[in-house]
Each structure stands twice: as C-alpha cells, then as structure tokens.
Structure 1
Amino acid sequence: MSGLTRETAARFARIALGHVAQEYPHKLDHVLLSDGDAVPPRVLHPIFFGSFDWHSCVHGWWTLLTLRRLFPDLPEAERITILADDSFTADKAAAELAYLYRPQSGGFERPYGWAWVLALHGEAERHEDRSWASRLEPLARAFAERLSTYLDKLTYPITVGTHFNTSFALTLALEWAQSHDQELAEVIGGWAERCFADERDYRGWEPGGDEFLSPALSVALLMSRVRSRKAFAPWFEGFLLDNGVLEARFDPAFVSDRSDGKTAHLDGLNLSRAWALRSIRRSLAPHPSEPVLERLADANFAAALPYLSGDYAGEHWLATFALRAVMAGQVVTD
C-alpha cells in the first residue's frame, strides 16, 4: 500500500466538500407526526442536511476534519475550515440535539449514525484551534447514553452487512468511549464477549448483494479491539482461518451497476473489508496469516478505489471508507 499522499488526500477532500452541503437529492430518516413536520432537510438538520442522508453527512464531516488535521497545508483545508465554522455553530448543534428528543426519534439513525457522531466528535477534539468539539459534545453524549441503553436490551447481535450491524457501530463507539466514557467502554467489551466469545467455524453467506460491511469481519474487528493479541489470535483462527473461509470467500466483490444505490454498496464492502483486514493484521502481528490478510486487503481496496466519484450513489459516502482503509495501514506520506 502506497499510503495517504497529498494528492489522494486532496481528492478525498474535494469529493467530500462536494456533498456535505448538497441538500438534494436527500433520503430522510424522519417520522412525520403532522403536516408541520413535512419540512426540508436543512430545517430538520441544520448541520447534517447534505450527502443524501444524515449519517453520510456526519461521516463526510469526519473525513473532512481528518484530512484537515493530516494535511493542514492542503488548499482544500481552508475551505474545510470556513465551511466547518459556518456549520458547527452553537445554534445549529442545539437544533440537531433537539431533534433527538422529538416523539418517535428514539431509534433515529440507530446504531450507525450514532457511532459516526462519536467518531466525528473524537476527531473534532483534535482540532484545538477551533471550538467544534465543544459544540458537538452534547450530541455525542446523548448518543453514547442511548447506545448504553440500547445494548442493555439488545438480546441478540444484528449481523447484517448494512447500517444496522451492531459490531461495526460498537467498534467506532469503542474508539470514542475509551477516551470519554470508561463505563460505556466496559459495557461494549462485556457485550462483545457475551455475544461472540464462543463463535467458531464461520460459514455465513458473504457477500450479500446489497452489503457494504462484512458480517464476519465486523465481528472480528470488534473482537480485536476488546481482546489482547494473546486472546484474540486463537479466537480469530477458530472463527475464520482454520476453516479456510477467509481465503475462499473474501476476494473483491463485483459491482454490476454503480448507479444503483444498493448495488453500489459493494464498492463500500470492498473498502470496509480492506479497513478491517488491515486493522486485524495489525492486531495479530506477528502471525502466519499476515500475507493472506495483506493480499486480500490490497485486492479489495484496489477494486473500489477508482470508483469513489462519478455517480452520486457512491460518491456521497465512499471516500470515508477509502480513508479509513488507507489509515488502517498506518502510512501517511507527504
């Protein structure tokens, strides 16, 4: 993997800048209680009204802030700062928070959007020259509280390869909780162990035709974060290596129609696989499986990288997953 270069970072930034403030087309996650609730996205969500849907706008902003931090001298960095200053105001953040307390908003964006807000707040804190994090913190705290309550009643994990996937959300949430909410971090760790400690010999159907996450790798990535290397390695061997499924079933998925929003999910699957495989490899090292993990990660990443833009079905979200996949390799070059 060549790493995150300035050229690639600028490309990712231009893509995200092109959609985080684009209101339409838009897909709302919104329950109408009366005619008065039929209002435009920018009224409901004065910060996160772009990027086709709320959660994509949230992680589009995560992408932009991350690139601003990693490459502060990029020409796009100034545009990011100006747009973020205009977006992350106290009034707009308060309106986003108020939306959560509407009747019928208890399940709004659960759990995918919740986890990305935590990731965005964690990234915003790294920009000490701005007050973005303090304005986003109440929103992050509200979602963290909801996540803890949700896990208390979630008897079984949701293992689909789409937005409802529990493990993916918990991996992001754990990154935030380890610095901000130790009680939540312990809840996540205990929940993961209860649900997945005894899983062996994975034989699931992958890939699904509209998935952007691997159910198996999402679980494995979470377990790599809650366990030590010594405890994780034998678990991963028994789950996905000893049966040969990893090598047999995780070559890049083929995308037949990138203008179809669901089919375009498969580009995201290839990118999220690369992210997970690279992260798992780091957690296992040293381990005999490293060459296989690296080969599969690079193949999946390469299959999707040319298609981050060109059709809005993927353009409004894929760059985030590409950035995560690159960063999982821990290589940033100037």
Structure 2
Amino acid sequence: MSGLTRNMAARFAGIALGHVTQEYPHKLDHVLLGDADAVPPRVLHPIFYGSFDWHSCVHGWWTLLTIRRLFPDLSEAARITMLADESFTADKVAAELAYLNRPQSAGFERPYGWAWLLALHGEAERQGDHSWGDRLRPLAQAFAGRFVGYLDKLTYPITVGTHFNTAFALTLAHDWAREHDPALREAIEAWTERCFGEERDYRGWEPGGDEFLSPALSVALLMARVRGREDFAPWFEAFLLDNGALEGRFAPAFVSDRSDGKTAHLDGLNLSRAWALRSIRERLGPHPAAPLLTRLADANFAAALPHLSGDYAGEHWLATFALLATLA
C-alpha cells in the first residue's frame, strides 16, 4: 500500500463519503434540447449526481472502493458497502447508460470522465465479495468503445493541464485495458508511440495558473506505462533530464486562494505531480535521477496534503489525487 496509512485512508474515505451524495452545488456537463431537459442532477445521473460534477463523483467512488479493498475493517468500510449497494443497481446503471445515448452526449465528459469510469470499474471488479463490477461493466464497455473511436480521429494530443489532457486519460484507460480490453490497450500504445515517441527536450510553460496536471509529467507517465524500462529510460532522459527541465520546473506550486475553484487546482497539480514522479521512479528502477524524483515527489505531496478539505472547491476531488500519490 506504499505510503497509505490507516489514518490517511480513514481521512480520505471520510472526505469522499461527505460529497459523493451531495447534490449541490453542482456543475453540469449537459446540453439542453428543450425545457424538458432542465432537470436536477439526480434525475440525469442517478448514481453520479454528487461531488459538484459527474467526473468528481465517479473518482470519489473510485477512492471509496479502493480504500474499502485495502482496509476492509475500517469503520468507514461498512458505510461504503451500504452506499455502493444502494447506488450500483441495474436500473441506475441503465439510466446512466441511457444518458450516454442522447444525441448530444457524444462528447460528454471526454476524456477525463471516461477514464475515471474505467478506473472505477476496474476497482469494482476487485471487490470480490460484491457484483458491483458486473453491474458497472456496460458503462465501462461503452466508454472503452468511445476511446477507440476518439483515438481514430484525434490527430494531435491535447496537452493542457486540465480535464482535456489526453495523456492523463490514456494512462488510466491503459491501466484498465491491460486487464479488460486488449484491443483498447493496443490502440492506446500505438497512438502514444505515434504522438509522443519522438518527443525530446521539453520546454513547455509550467505550471499554468489553473492546472491540476503537469503536461510534461502526464506524457512521461503514459510513456512509462506503454514502454518497458530499457526503452523508457533513454526517452525520459532526453525529454526531461538532459536539459535540466525536471530539476528546474517542478518545485511545489503556490496556491494563493483555495476558495477559488481554478486556483485550487494547483493543490491537485502538486498531488498529481507526486503520483507521476513516484510512478516514473518505479519504472526507471535504479537510476541516477531516482533521488531527484523522490525529493520532488515528496515536496509536492507535502505541500498539498494539509489542504484536502476545508473548502469545497478542493474538497470534492483532492482526496482522490492524494490517494493516487500514496499508492504509487
């Protein structure tokens, strides 16, 4: 469980339990075709109506199920189980699936929410004492199919450090596809090599003022997933190490106002950096850059960890990224 302690798990679970069923405030990703479409989130999305937005509710559930599996005797685990039984029903999954079939839903939550739904299904499949994975499988298969079609037409990667980032979504999707969908895995690996395999000497602007992902580290993490150690190490050296970019650009970001939803993204940036840096370090194995990766990861994680709750701008999502970082 890497750095995840029992106390941390309880804290993360408590935060997520506090928002996955909190309907308001809510930011919908919803196209209205008429007055009849102006309905509450719980009607549109009977499972994923909480946590301010659909994707945050999905990965809030991923957080809860992951903690339940790792700490089944935690006091919060019983509540997670009860809530999951109430939420992951055939009727509610069918309603979520029906929403995807609306004429204007082709781009719904693309690609961030797609990727998190796959991650949630993967975790639900690991809950051996319940059939939640079976229940969620139709949703996962629907999004997997969308990913294949999306990659077919995505000529250029989207490298912003927000929800549209291609590499982050494909990292989660690849993790799922390794176990559940060989065709999607093959499509991701081919697309990744085509778009990023020859990248060198990164000189992008980081951090952006409202980003929660590092464009450079998101690409590097995806490359670490799709390449073996011997092929990944020289690519990473040429991309971020040889030019000094890693050492010069990735000190913890300063967060000036945690009540501002966009500025609060920077706490998430620090956490997602920690996840990426730790994961890359593991892929590299014994390497001269390992101490630098560890130092930067630990500094970024420590900067954000005290700020997971206290303002809903960050509270509805940050615990997920803290969990990713602790499990890397």
Superposition TM-score, scaled by structure 2 size = 0.99
- Equivalent residue of 2:99, what SS? helix
Distance 1:7 1:118 in 2: 27
Taking structure 1 as reference, are residues 169 and 249 closer, same or farther at Cα in structure 2, changes over 3 Å only?
A: same
Q: Residue 228 of structure 2 aligns with which residue? A: 228
- Superposed CA deviations along residues 142-167 of structure 1, whole A, max 9, x for unmatched, are 00000000000000000000000000
Partner of 2:143: 143
1:262-319 deviation per Cα after TM superposition (whole angstroms, max 9, x unaligned):
0000000000000000000000011100000000000000000000000000000000
Q: Say what the alpha-carbon RMSD is for the aligned residues.
A: 0.8
Tell me the residue number matched to 1:4: 4
Output the CA distance in 1 between the equivalents of 2:225 and 2:5.
27
Higher relative contact order (CA 8 A, sep 6+): 1
Amino acid at match of 1:231: D
Name the CA distance, whole Å, in 2 between partners of 1:307 and 1:88: 30
Aligned counterparts, 1:242-281, within 5 A: 242-281=242-281
Q: Give identity over the alignment, percent.
A: 82
Residue 132 of structure 1: aligned partner:
132
1:8-32: CA deviations, max 9, x gaps?
1000000000000000000000000
Q: Which residue of the partner structure matches residue 218 of structure 2?
A: 218
Deviations 1:189-228 (A, max 9, x none): 0000000011000000000000000000000000001001
Equivalents in 2 of 1:260, 1:165: separation in Å? 21
Q: How far does residue 2 in structure 1 lie from its aligned partner after superposition?
A: 7.9
Q: Which runs of 5+ in 2 are unaligned?
A: none
1:1-334 mapped onto 2 (5 Å cutoff): 3-328=3-328
State the secondary structure of the residue aligned to 1:309. coil
Deviation at 1:4, TM superposition (A): 1.0
**CA deviation vs aligned residue, 1:108-145 (integer Å, no higher than 9, x gap):** 00000000000000000011111111110000000000
Distance in 1 (CA, whole Å) between partners of 2:228 and 2:219 is: 15
Asked if 1 retains the 8 angstrom alpha-carbon contact of 2:2 and 2:327, the reply is no
SS in 1 for 2:110: coil
Size of the aligned set, in residue pairs, is 328
Segments of 4+ moved more than 6 angstroms: none
Partners of 1:71 and 1:180 in 2: CA distance: 25
SS of the residue 1:16 aligns to: helix
3-state SS of 2:160 partner: coil
